[in-house]
Amino acid sequence: MKKIFLTAILLSAVVIGCSKGGSNDNLNWEENLETALQKANAENKAVLVNFTGSDWCVWCKRLSAEVFSKSEFEDYAEDNLILVKIDFPQNIEQSAETKLYNNQLAQKFGIQGYPTILLFNSTGNLVLTTGYQPGGPVSYVEHLKNSL
């Protein structure tokens, strides 16, 4: 009986631990760039746009796991960024309107691959086009700060 109880506790801990890591649950990702730019202007924040293939792109998943899901990035984003996710999934359902909107944005900004990160300053000017960067969240935040 003790073995079953301990196994249940252990499994619960694993499930809780997995649900907290790497899912970007703590970040609020907008899906509309124009709305985000207006909000950024009003709040004097930058806008980070993540063009991603969230369910298939290896580098997108790495960026999410190594940067976006870490507290150092989350803390910086909360104070300084409006986040926008423009997703091109293979196995996640999207409305026809979302697909059209995302494709139009990708065409407008000449997106060639994923992840592509666009950084706009608070007045809506594009200041950085980047992607996955090695080095973790602290390095990534510095990369962003250097462009603003």
Topology at the third CATH level for domain 22-145:
Glutaredoxin (3.40.30)
Q: Which residue positions in the chain have pLDDT lower than 70?
A: 1-25
pLDDT of residue 26: 85
pLDDT of residue 25: 61
Strand order through the sheet with 46-52: 29-30, 81-87, 46-52, 116-120, 126-130
Domain boundary assignment for the chain: 22-145
Rounded to whole angstroms, the Cα distance separating 46 from 2 reads 53
Tokens of 124: 């809506």
pLDDT of residue 77: 98
